[in-house]
């Protein structure tokens, strides 16, 4: 080995010692700029997604080691269909490694200070008049645009976009530099004349007419909504041990997020139930349970909502025990996760008229805490004792206060109910 070569080897070793640990620990040496476009195409019942990905190798390690990059890992949602990838010359091969995680194999080696541009395209399924989908983006180097036909009302989970109103479409743009940390929902509907599907629930004291109002193209939603209603009402009646309390029939209307004021659904009594078009059957059962909770004349929101969610659990447990358990576990876990930041006594919990991104967490926590308490009461005293206290609750004419509630439940059981006070006060 001559002297020059020795010096070079020594320098390489030194550089390796000095710089390698830093470079390994620092992912910022790679930059990926992403340009994501979401195009809502109701005629095709599809959102076409195209992501232009510009990968830049700025990892100086690869300069010394003659290293290069030749693939890229990227997450795609499980709902993505017809996935293709290509660069300006030809197809880019890819493979799914774990759920959603795809590796894309570049058609060129990307040496230090070089870059590689390619495209990933896929489709998301929507309906003719409703679209609910998620923007799955990460980091700060992403620009996002969403193009929606102008006859759709669109609501996006974050509002720091610029809206460009064109002749036939609305374009929502998030410029590069904004931080993307979690998936963001887009809710978009084309309000058209509603159609109606009818059914009858045979309940203890009378037959109750059910009317489901829905947008054209949402026949499946309407049928599912009617079926869940017809199955749930008799279970709610049986488990409350109180006949359906209202004199009027039930109407359920498929609604936009503006119409539900940000909620998944709400029950406005005689005027019917308004359901966000993307809401689950669990929310529908919750709204149906409110026919009974409102009859109890609860003074406190936590009782109204806690009982609605408890009876959603009990009903779902008969229809689909796995789903009921999963929902219960999710609620309890969410309560424990949020407790540190949002805890407050339940007697101070209020829900706002409408939900925005600031009030969302407080509202969410209140629901979870109310459920955790009512579920614990149910576990402590059992269904039969709950039914006997339900009789007292529905017979009350004045609003039932926290104290009266504890008295009523305590009188139906020999169990110690002091734990409830720790949640309420």
Beta bridge pairs of residue 135: 184
> Residue 78: CB partners within 8 Å, gap ≥ 6?
99, 100
Which one, 206 or 330, has the nearer CB to Zn ion? 330
CB of 197 to Zn ion, least distance (A): 24
CB of 149 to Zn ion, least distance (A): 33
Beta bridge pairs of residue 125: 46
> Residue 222: CB partners within 8 Å, gap ≥ 6?
195, 197, 212, 214, 254
Among 226, 242, 285, 308, binds Zn ion (CB under 5 A): 308
CB of 372 to Zn ion, least distance (A): 16
Q: Is 288 among the residues that bind Zn ion (CB under 5 A)? A: no
Which one, 57 or 293, has the nearer CB to Zn ion? 293
> Residue 105: CB partners within 8 Å, gap ≥ 6?
70, 71, 92, 93, 94, 95
Q: Which stretch binds Zn ion (CB under 5 A): 245-253, 305-313, 321-329, 375-383?
A: 305-313
CB of 308 to Zn ion, least distance (A): 5
How far apart (Å, rounded) are the C-alpha atoms in residues 287 and 63?
62
Q: Which of residues 2-21 bind Zn ion (CB under 5 A)?
A: none
By beta carbon distance, the residue nearest Zn ion is 308
Task: Give DSSP secondary structure letters for 287-349.
Answer: HHHHHHHGGGTBSSHHHHHHHHHHHHHHHHHHH-HHHHHHHHHHHHHHHHHHHHHH---GGG-
How far apart (Å, rounded) are the C-alpha atoms in residues 128 and 84?
24
Which one, 92 or 273, has the nearer CB to Zn ion? 273
CB of 96 to Zn ion, least distance (A): 39
Which one, 49 or 314, has the nearer CB to Zn ion? 314
CB of 283 to Zn ion, least distance (A): 9
Q: Read off the tokens for 241.
A: 């041990």
Q: Which stretch binds Zn ion (CB under 5 A): 22-30, 225-233, 301-309, 348-356?
A: 301-309
How many residues form the binding site for Zn ion (CB under 5 A)? 2
CB of 267 to Zn ion, least distance (A): 7
Which one, 221 or 307, has the nearer CB to Zn ion? 307
User: Between the CA of residue 22 and those of 18, 33, 190, what are the distances in Å?
Assistant: 8, 23, 53
Which one, 133 or 292, has the nearer CB to Zn ion? 292
CB of 59 to Zn ion, least distance (A): 52
CB of 286 to Zn ion, least distance (A): 6
Q: Which of 349, 252, 348, 347 is nearest to 291 (CA)?
A: 252
How far apart (Å, rounded) are the C-alpha atoms in residues 48 and 39?
5
Q: Which of 131, 126, 171 is nearest to 148 (CA)?
A: 171
Which one, 281 or 305, has the nearer CB to Zn ion? 305
Which one, 295 or 305, has the nearer CB to Zn ion? 305
Q: Which stretch binds Zn ion (CB under 5 A): 93-101, 277-285, 306-314, 347-355?
A: 306-314
Which one, 215 or 274, has the nearer CB to Zn ion? 274
Q: How many residues does the chain have?
A: 425
CA dihedral 401, 405, 407, 410 (to 10 degrees): -160
Q: Which stretch binds Zn ion (CB under 5 A): 9-17, 138-146, 300-308, 337-345?
A: 300-308
CB-CB contact of 255 with 221 (8 Å):
no
- Residues making contact with Zn ion (CB under 5 A): 305, 308
């Amino acid at each position: 080995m001559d002297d020059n070569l020795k010096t070079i080897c020594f320098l390489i070793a030194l550089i390796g010692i000095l710089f390698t640990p830093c470079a390994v620990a620092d992912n910022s040496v790679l930059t990926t700029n992403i340009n994501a476009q979401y195009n809502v195409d109701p005629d095709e019942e599809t959102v076409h997604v195209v992501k232009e990905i510009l990968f830049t190798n700025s990892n100086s390690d690869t300069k010394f080691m003659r290293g290069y990059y030749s693939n890229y890992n990227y997450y795609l949602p499980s709902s993505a269909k017809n996935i293709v990838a290509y660069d300006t010359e030809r197809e880019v091969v890819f493979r799914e490694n774990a759920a959603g995680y795809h590796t894309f194999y570049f058609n060129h080696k990307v040496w230090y200070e070089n870059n590689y541009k390619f495209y990933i395209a896929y489709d998301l399924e929507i309906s003719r008049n409703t679209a609910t989908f998620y923007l799955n983006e990460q980091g700060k180097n992403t620009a996002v645009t969403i193009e929606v036909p102008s006859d759709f009302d669109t609501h996006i989970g974050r509002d720091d976009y610029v809206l460009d109103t064109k002749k036939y479409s609305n374009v929502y743009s998030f410029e590069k530099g904004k931080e993307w940390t979690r998936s963001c929902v887009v809710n978009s509907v084309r309000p058209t004349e509603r159609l109606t599907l009818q059914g009858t629930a045979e309940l203890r004291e009378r037959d109750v007419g059910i009317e489901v109002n829905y947008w054209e193209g949402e026949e499946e939603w309407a049928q599912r909504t009617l079926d869940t209603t017809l199955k749930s009402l008799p279970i709610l009646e049986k488990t409350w041990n109180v006949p359906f309390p209202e004199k009027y029939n039930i109407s359920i209307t498929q609604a936009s997020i503006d119409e539900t004021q940000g909620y998944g659904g709400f029950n406005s009594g005689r005027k019917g139930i308004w359901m966000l078009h993307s809401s689950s059957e669990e929310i529908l059962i919750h709204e149906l349970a409110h026919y009974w909770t409102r009859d109890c004349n609860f003074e406190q929101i936590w009782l109204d909502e806690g009982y609605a969610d408890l009876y959603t659990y009990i009903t779902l447990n008969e229809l689909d025990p796995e789903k009921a358990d999963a929902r219960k576990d999710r609620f309890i876990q969410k309560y424990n996760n949020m407790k540190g930041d949002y805890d407050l006594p339940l007697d101070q919990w209020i829900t706002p008229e409408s939900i925005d991104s600031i009030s969302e967490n407080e509202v969410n926590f209140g629901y979870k805490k109310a459920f955790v308490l009512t579920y614990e009461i149910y576990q402590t005293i059992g269904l039969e004792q709950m039914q006997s206290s339900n009789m007292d609750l529905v017979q009350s004419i004045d609003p039932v206060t926290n104290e009266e509630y504890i008295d009523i439940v305590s009188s139906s059981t020999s169990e110690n109910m002091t734990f409830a006070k720790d949640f309420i006060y």
